Amino acid sequence: MARILVPTQSYEDWRRLLARPDRHWKPGFSAMTLARSWEAAGGFPAEVDAIFRSSGQPNIVGLEPVLMWIGRVS
């Protein structure tokens, strides 16, 4: 199967990646909450950035995401 990467424009674009959007795409559920968090951040969400900053590893502070991959674990 060919893999085609499509950039997202908003958190709504994440919905089509769900196996059961009717069950998992609801306010307050992890799929929608995760999508909103990442899209609104314009980089890493504040919680992820805080983990980087608290790690004591200066080489990971200030990183910017270039490619995010969401896939199924089989």
Q: What's the pLDDT band for 17 if we cut at 50, 70, 90?
A: confident
pLDDT in tens, 20-68: 898 889 998 889 998 999 999 988 999 999 999 999 999 998 888 888 7
Task: Write out the DSSP string of 10-32.
Answer: SGGGGGGG-S-HHHH-STTSHHH
User: What is the reported pTM?
Assistant: 0.71
Decide if 55 is inside a domain: yes
Q: How many domains does the chain have?
A: 1
What are residue 58's phi and psi, to 5 degrees? Answer: -60, -20
The answer as to whether 49 is a domain residue is yes
* pLDDT recorded at residue 51: 93
Please, are residues 50 and 21 in contact by the beta-carbon 8 Å criterion?
no
Q: Is residue 74 in some structural domain?
A: no
Structural domain includes residue 11: no
Range of the domain at 28: 22-60
pLDDT value for 67: 81
Is pLDDT of 73 > 70?
no
- Residue 12 falls inside a structural domain: no
* Residue 66, domain member (yes or no): no
